[in-house]
Structure 1
């Protein structure tokens, strides 16, 4: 069974260790990266994280969906979803 996902606190600690910096600097760096990605994707752009993947926003057209509880079909308006394509390098490192 898989381990629990890394928490933000654990990620900040690991980032601080890799950067040879304190946790406050690592927290600021992580928060800044998150803000940049959020802003870019919200504006319809995409962000590539080398060795990790590409985060982008995709529009979904209007479509018919079904309520699984009642079986009732209804029309769902067009919307946007955030997608991430995983980089080949990361896929390959997992399968080694």
Structure 2
């Protein structure tokens, strides 16, 4: 399912227009992205949690030349599914 299919399905389920659902989905994704980027954890009951993991700076190797390189510290976004969501997927 891609974004347009998701919007169409959710709009039908909620009785909204596709345009309104697209605006709502974009607002939700933007809000979650901004919150996680600023270090907050976002919890959606019965769905899951969005947060980030801090990766430390480290040394690595260029696979083509074998030269040692510095890899900068970074944040990796993470999603952990809630039990109810996992159970629904596995049933």
Range into which the TM-score falls when normalised by the shorter chain:
0.7 to 0.9
Aligned equivalents of 1:88, 1:42: Cα separation in 2: 25
CA-to-aligned-CA distance 1:3-47 (integer Å, 9 cap, x gap): xxx111101101101111111111111111011111111111111
Q: CA RMSD in A?
A: 1.6
Aligned equivalents of 1:49, 1:68: Cα separation in 2: 40
Q: Secondary structure at the match of 2:50?
A: strand
Using the size of structure 2 for normalisation, the TM-score is 0.85
Aligned to 2:83: 88
Using the size of structure 1 for normalisation, the TM-score is 0.81
* Structure 1 segment 11-26 matched on structure 2, within 5 A: 11-26=6-21
* Structure 1 segment 48-67 matched on structure 2, within 5 A: 48-67=43-62
Q: Secondary structure at the match of 1:56?
A: strand
Quick one: which of 13, 16, 31 aligns to 1:36?
31
Q: Any unmatched runs of 5+ in structure 1? A: 1-5
Q: Secondary structure at the match of 1:51?
A: coil
- Between stretches 73-82 and 33-42, larger displacement belongs to 73-82
Number of residue equivalences: 91
